Amino acid sequence: MLDPVLLRSFVAVAETLSFTRAAERLGIRQGTVSQHVRKLEQSVDRTLFARDTHTVALTADGEAMVEFATTILDTGERALAHFRSVQVRGRLRLGLSEDLVVTRLPAILAGFRRRHPGVDLVLTVGLSESLEPALDAGDLDLIFAKRSPGRTGGTTVWRDRFVWVSAPGFRLDDGPVPLVAYPRPSLSRAAAIAALEAAGTQWRMACTSSSLSGLRAAALAGLGVVVHAETLVPDGLVRISGLPDLDAFEFTLQTSRRSASPAADAMARSILDSAATLRSGV
């Protein structure tokens, strides 16, 4: 039998690609995480990570183990949830960044529902910069979104960066760069404008939409370029070159200090356990 303790450390490393960040997430020492991974590799007689002094990457056997490990851990959690004398109940007001909704988030919510059927969900989808004030005001219990520059706290789910995307075959001409963006406030919009102006590149706002589906439709129609998270590029859009480099950022989980609840903690655990699936959802 595969030890769930070893599997939990393995999954944390697989999701963060860092033994240090995995240890921080689990609240244990880095040496303990390394020991757990080494014991798991010994038990299956396979190398699960290719690692050197700078990088950590899953091997082909490691990729296979991710699926097995997450299934085993999910089954164990559902069994415990079923037999616990006191199950998580109540209402959870969850705020989600717009660009996360088109990933496999529905599958994550379905898994949470199976484990915690007594929790009623109230979902709010919007720009990260709009969700954070609502969280601070106590109007949301938990948000899963990009972290605004200068904001501290929360738990990093994964690190990402912005990239330029548009329709396949789109070509920039000699005029101002046509932008397709969310309205203010928007981290991606601000990152695009800041990068272009720092490079001395002229630009114009070709289209504004408050929804990702609107941005995608405008880009597919050839109206301009969109700045989007590298790991969550919408279906049908492709990266384009020739424009300035863009900022890095983090997707984080942030919990309200005014309305902390077991339901919010349970959802945070579900999202962290499923981070690798979310990253590859598009």
35, 53, 83 - which closes a domain: 83
Pair 151, 208 in one domain: no
Q: Domain holding 123: CATH number?
A: 3.40.190.10
Each residue of 22-63: pLDDT tens digit? 998 888 999 999 999 999 999 999 999 998 878 899 999 999
Pair 144, 216 in one domain: no
**How far is it, in rounded angstroms, from Cα 35 to Cα 33?**
5
**How far is it, in rounded angstroms, from Cα 92 to Cα 94?**
6
Per the structure, the count of domains in the chain is 3
**How far is it, in rounded angstroms, from Cα 169 to Cα 163?**
17
How many Cβ atoms are within 10 Å of 100's Cβ, its own excluded?
A: 23
Pair 164, 145 in one domain: no
Average pLDDT score over residue span 222-248: 94
Closest CA to 216 of 124, 109, 98, 116: 98
Average pLDDT score over residue span 149-164: 88
Q: Which residue has the tokens 């590298």?
A: 230
Pair 188, 243 in one domain: yes
**How far is it, in rounded angstroms, from Cα 226 to Cα 207?**
10
pLDDT band, residue 101 (cuts 50/70/90): confident
Cβ neighbours for 155, distance < 8 A, ≥ 6 positions apart: 25, 252, 253, 254, 268, 272
pLDDT band, residue 140 (cuts 50/70/90): very high
Pair 9, 76 in one domain: yes
Pair 95, 62 in one domain: no
Residue 279 has pLDDT above 60, yes or no: no
Cβ neighbours for 122, distance < 8 A, ≥ 6 positions apart: 91, 92, 93, 94
**How far is it, in rounded angstroms, from Cα 180 to Cα 72?**
43
Pair 254, 149 in one domain: yes
Tokens linked to 210: 């408050």
How many Cβ atoms are within 10 Å of 127's Cβ, its own excluded?
A: 21
Pair 78, 113 in one domain: no
Whether the bond between 234 and the residue before it is cis, its omega within 30 degrees of 0, is: no
Tokens linked to 50: 């290719």
Pair 260, 152 in one domain: yes
pLDDT band, residue 86 (cuts 50/70/90): low
Which range marks the domain in which residue 269 is found?
A: 90-156+250-279
Cβ neighbours for 32, distance < 8 A, ≥ 6 positions apart: 9, 23
Pair 256, 143 in one domain: yes
Residue 254 has pLDDT above 90, yes or no: yes
Tokens linked to 57: 């990457």
Q: Please list, residue by residue across 60-89, b when 16 or more beta carbons sit within 10 angstroms of its beta carbon and e when fewer do.
A: eebeebbeebbebbbeebeeebeeeeeebe
Pair 73, 176 in one domain: no
Average pLDDT value for the chain = 89
Residue 121 has pLDDT above 60, yes or no: yes
83, 107, 136 - which closes a domain: 83
Q: Domain holding 48: CATH number?
A: 1.10.10.10
Pair 117, 39 in one domain: no
**How far is it, in rounded angstroms, from Cα 234 to Cα 273?**
23
